[in-house]
Structure 1
Amino acid sequence: MEVAVRQQSGDASLLRRLNSAAILRILREAQVATLSELARAARVSRPTAEVIVDELVAEGWAEECGEEPGDRQRGRPARRFRFRAAAAHVLGIGIGGSRLRAMVTDLNGTIVVSRRAPNHREMPAGERLDAVAALAAEAAAEAGVALADVAVVGVGTTGTVDGAGRVVKSMVLSGWTGLDLQGELSRRLPAPVLVENDMRLAVLAEHWRGAARGRHDVIYLFTGDRIGMGLLIGGRPHRGAHAASGEIGAQPYNNWTAYRHVMDYAMAVEPGELRSSRQSAEFAIARARAGDEKAGHAVRELARGLAAGLITVVNPLDPEMVVIGGSLSSAGDLLVEPVRELFEEFCAYPPEVVASELGSECITLGAVRFALDHADRLLFT
């Protein structure tokens, strides 16, 4: 009999937790709801809903709304409640070739703090890890959140990242290949850490808050000192058989064919100035905007070169959209049309082509969304 009583008590406790999670999830989706609406949606009695909501209010997960104008004229108003997104926070971190970025948001993804710090490709891995941990602590402190109270830390990094958060291979950052990044950061940060490839997070961010909202099959092209690609297939970032999706790889001497025209142009205009592929592109773009026809031709050929490299992916994948992101996305008005023209000529079903509006924050925003998805599973299921 004692065992049966204990089991019934345990079952009741589990049921209460399940009902509480269900009501919290419903409240979050509805934004504002009455007790009757919550009880009906969760399929529980109104008294049960009231007890659970009072507990959620006491714990800080919900709050009662004030009266709206006209409530008193209608008699006693129904109690209305809303989800408190500030009850918990997540932290998104982007680890790039030249910068570290951190972003603290509430559970609705509202940005509370955004910070950045320099990163160097040849920095020893240990120093870079310490710099990431320091930036995370600074961002949390500025947001007024104890780092130990952060629900989840999502991290995006260049390199092939496996399911355990290890960097299998990195062609950009020194000492990064073979690094157990998730494990190393977990030892430095007192909060759950999840690590993912930066290109997969970039396309996730575009799907969440960028040009790809509402789309299910998307190619995200990252442009800058390197070229990367994120694939959204069926509404989910594609990982690939070896978790290597997103890493296009390196070119000899870092000489991308698509950048040849802008590099030649920059060298012809200023022979004594050494520029990277990204710097050459930015130089040509600035002069094209100023009316230089030769610069305009070089930028157009850059766009056509990028498009030519994409065609072998676009035709078999058949995406709805191609998003041009990375540091060159700000030149979208110069790049989009040449890319679209080449697709019209060579693709059976030319996708829509747009420039990202998320800029350099795309990977960090993707890390935030990655962290929020995990927090949602912890809180609402």
Structure 2
Amino acid sequence: MPGHSLAQLRGSNLRAITALLGSAGPQSRADLARGSGLSRTTVSSLVSELLDNGLVVETEDRGTPYKGGSGRPPLLVALALRPGGVAGVDIGHRHIRVAVSDRSARILAEVETQTDADPHGNATLDIAADLVERARTEAGLPLSELLMVGLCVPAPIDRRSARVDQSVLPGWHELAPAEELSRRVGLPVVVDNDANLGAIAEHQHGAGRGTADLLYVKLASGVGAGLVLGGRLHRGSTGLAGEIGHVLAREDGDLCRCGSRGCLETEVSTRHLLALLRPKLGAALDLLGLLALDADGDPTVRSVLTGAGHTAGRVLAGVCTTLNPARIVVGGSLGASPSLVAAIRVGVDRYAHPEAAASCEVVSGRFGGRAELMGSLALAISRAGELA
């Protein structure tokens, strides 16, 4: 029904405003309009409703006029928060990182361990729960004040079943990660995949801040993307939006873990690039060594990274033309490579619609391999803000 749809849209808009305030702290109404992609009139109406309901307050502080103007400094609004903190859990293919932060995303404690998470879903979640408790203790935060846990997993989450894509994490069959971790820690848990959380982190705190339409690309051992459209994360009807790692990049290419051949992930992942370079540069070459050689201008490394960047740029050009983002943020462990990012820029310019390419920046992410952890904290903070 139309009325129901409008109510859903307003509820979504209210959550977008509280999420921005929860992750980025006090902001002016103009800041909220820029960050959310909503009109200033809509933001003003939403803020008024939140003020009336006691969910936000106007602070005594004032911001700075937009673009350094000389007008009166704007009033800032902030969430009306009760004391407490949140935990962020980043489960990667080979690691688990946990951080506990306050409501402004200031990290109070952080712990990490190395493990093979892919084949052992239940055991991995057991370790994650133990690390949450360890980080909470190190942070000196009472259990009663730990409000929410944000969980990152390196696979798509089916929005219908809340389960992971078992073609990516075969040892997580029939597991609903948020439900399982919540049962272990006794706290509410909200979950998303690594690329989406990287997009949240870079959009709210990093290289994508102030951009309403953003494409975040994670290039690491896996390849994926997170889409921010109109200031909101776009997950798609089932949660598969942004799975560019499984877009065809080469006919009759290598077999991908998804069962197809020639996926982008088989062409540009760290595993593939290291496999290409080790016969020439030595079996001991690792990711840090690759990035160091790129920074030093090694011609072999730069040639391989440039080829990978052109391949990624060709795939991203289609997304750029279709969605017309203002910025592509290249994250993950390979996002720090100048050669790769520059080559992606060339690929987008060559294959995208000229006007779409010209209006789109291509930049390295701010957080690199920490984007997923920062995104899990941001997600937990925003959901905790909804409960305030």
**Quick check: TM above 0.5?**
yes
Instruction: Look up the match of 2:323.
Output: 317
Q: Is 1:327 aligned with 2:333?
A: yes
* Counterparts of residues 26-37 of structure 1 (less than 5 Å): 29=26
* Counterparts of residues 332-347 of structure 1 (less than 5 Å): 333-347=338-352
Q: Is 1:252 aligned with 2:248?
A: no
Task: Give, in angstroms, the shift of residue 291 of structure 1.
Answer: 3.8
Task: Give, in angstroms, the shift of residue 42 of structure 1.
Answer: 8.5
Q: Is 1:290 aligned with 2:302?
A: no
CA RMSD of aligned residues (A): 3.5
Q: 2:381 aligns with which of 362, 372, 375?
A: 372
Q: Is 1:145 aligned with 2:141?
A: yes
Q: Deviations over 1:294-343 (max 9, x none)?
A: 22222211211221221221111111111110011222x22222221222
**Structure 1 unaligned blocks of 5 or more:** 1-23, 32-40, 44-51, 53-60, 66-81
**8 Å contact kept, 1:102–1:136:** yes
**8 Å contact kept, 1:204–1:366:** yes
After TM superposition, the structure 1 stretch with the greater mean CA deviation from structure 2, 333-342 or 95-104, is 333-342
Task: Give, in angstroms, the shift of residue 371 of structure 1.
Answer: 0.9
**8 Å contact kept, 2:313–2:346:** no
* Counterparts of residues 82-101 of structure 1 (less than 5 Å): 87-101=83-97
**8 Å contact kept, 1:92–1:365:** yes
Q: Number of aligned pairs?
A: 310
After TM superposition, the structure 1 stretch with the greater mean CA deviation from structure 2, 259-268 or 313-322, is 259-268
**8 Å contact kept, 1:159–1:247:** no
Distance between the aligned counterparts of 1:362 and 1:313, measured in 2?
Answer: 22
**8 Å contact kept, 2:318–2:352:** no
The structure-2 alpha-carbon separation of the partners of 1:42 and 1:201, relative to structure 1 and needing over 3 Å to count, comes to closer
Instruction: Look up the match of 1:265.
Output: 277
Task: Give, in angstroms, the shift of residue 345 of structure 1.
Answer: 2.4
Distance between the aligned counterparts of 1:291 and 1:198, measured in 2?
Answer: 30
Instruction: Look up the match of 1:198.
Output: 194
Q: Deviations over 1:54-101 (max 9, x none)?
A: xxxxxxx9xx99xxxxxxxxxxxxxxxx99978210111111101111
Instruction: Look up the match of 2:251.
Output: none
Q: 2:103 aligns with which of 107, 112, 115?
A: 107
Distance between the aligned counterparts of 1:198 and 1:307, measured in 2?
Answer: 21
**8 Å contact kept, 1:304–1:339:** yes
* Counterparts of residues 15-30 of structure 1 (less than 5 Å): 29=26
Task: Give, in angstroms, the shift of residue 188 of structure 1.
Answer: 0.7
1:366 is aligned with what amino acid? Answer: G
Identity %: 28
Distance between the aligned counterparts of 1:153 and 1:207, measured in 2?
Answer: 20
Task: Give, in angstroms, the shift of residue 365 of structure 1.
Answer: 0.9
Secondary structure of the residue that 1:121 maps to in structure 2?
A: coil
**8 Å contact kept, 1:299–1:335:** yes
The structure-2 alpha-carbon separation of the partners of 1:108 and 1:357, relative to structure 1 and needing over 3 Å to count, comes to same
After TM superposition, the structure 1 stretch with the greater mean CA deviation from structure 2, 355-364 or 294-303, is 294-303
Q: Deviations over 1:157-190 (max 9, x none)?
A: 1222134772241334342132121221111112
**8 Å contact kept, 2:336–2:364:** yes
2:279 is aligned with what amino acid? Answer: M
Give the TM-score, by structure 1 length: 0.71
Distance between the aligned counterparts of 1:128 and 1:172, measured in 2?
Answer: 15
**8 Å contact kept, 2:314–2:351:** no
**8 Å contact kept, 2:148–2:189:** yes
Q: Deviations over 1:343-375 (max 9, x none)?
A: 222222211010112122111111111111111
Distance between the aligned counterparts of 2:245 and 2:350, measured in 1?
Answer: 27
- Structure with more relative contact order (C-alpha pairs < 8 Å, separation 6 or more): 2
Instruction: Extract structure 1 runs of 4+ deviating beyond 6 A.
Output: 82-86
Distance between the aligned counterparts of 2:256 and 2:379, measured in 1?
Answer: 34
Secondary structure of the residue that 1:319 maps to in structure 2?
A: coil
Secondary structure of the residue that 1:230 maps to in structure 2?
A: strand
Instruction: Look up the match of 2:7.
Output: none
Distance between the aligned counterparts of 1:233 and 1:174, measured in 2?
Answer: 31
**8 Å contact kept, 1:159–1:167:** no
**8 Å contact kept, 1:261–1:301:** no
* Counterparts of residues 108-127 of structure 1 (less than 5 Å): 108-127=104-123
The structure-2 alpha-carbon separation of the partners of 1:261 and 1:118, relative to structure 1 and needing over 3 Å to count, comes to closer
Distance between the aligned counterparts of 1:282 and 1:236, measured in 2?
Answer: 33
Secondary structure of the residue that 1:134 maps to in structure 2?
A: helix
**8 Å contact kept, 1:197–1:246:** no
Bigger Rg, which one:
1
**Structure 2 unaligned blocks of 5 or more:** 1-20, 29-46, 62-77, 247-253, 258-264
**8 Å contact kept, 1:90–1:106:** yes
